[in-house]
Amino acid sequence: MPLRQVESDTGPNAMQLSGREFLYTPEARGLSVEAIRKIDELVDGVGLIRNQERVRWRDMTTLFDDLEKRPKTRQTFGPVVQGELRRRLALNRAGKGDTEPSGT
């Protein structure tokens, strides 16, 4: 998907994007290097379920849902990254436009 589509008002919601597409949106600005690596590697736009557990995610919505509901997903991303992603994606899902930390 071309970046100009993602940035336009008529483009898809950032939560509907694969990890790599999401990383080019304003919503990803300020993520840690480790969070960026995990998103790029594991949110591949296709998804994969192995032994009845998701090990790759189709889009950011699927990832957020699993981070909220599945302890195994939180383990996959680790305590620091999963916390960072849960906070950031919760803001995005709630429709809060500014995902930058305040006071910067």
pTM for this predicted structure: 0.78
Q: Of 104, 25, 75, which is closest to residue 16 (Cα–Cα)? A: 25
- pLDDT number for residue 35: 97
In the chain, the percentage of residues whose pLDDT exceeds 90 is 73
17-42 pLDDT, tens digit each: 999 999 999 999 999 999 999 999 99
- pLDDT number for residue 24: 95
DSSP run (H or E) holding 14: none
- Specify the 3-state DSSP secondary structure of 20: helix
- Specify the 3-state DSSP secondary structure of 57: strand
Q: Of 85, 53, 55, which is closest to residue 67 (Cα–Cα)? A: 85
Structure tokens belonging to residue 8: 């336009």
Across 7-11, 60-64, 100-104, the highest mean pLDDT is recorded for 60-64
**Cα separation, 103 vs 15, whole angstroms:** 26
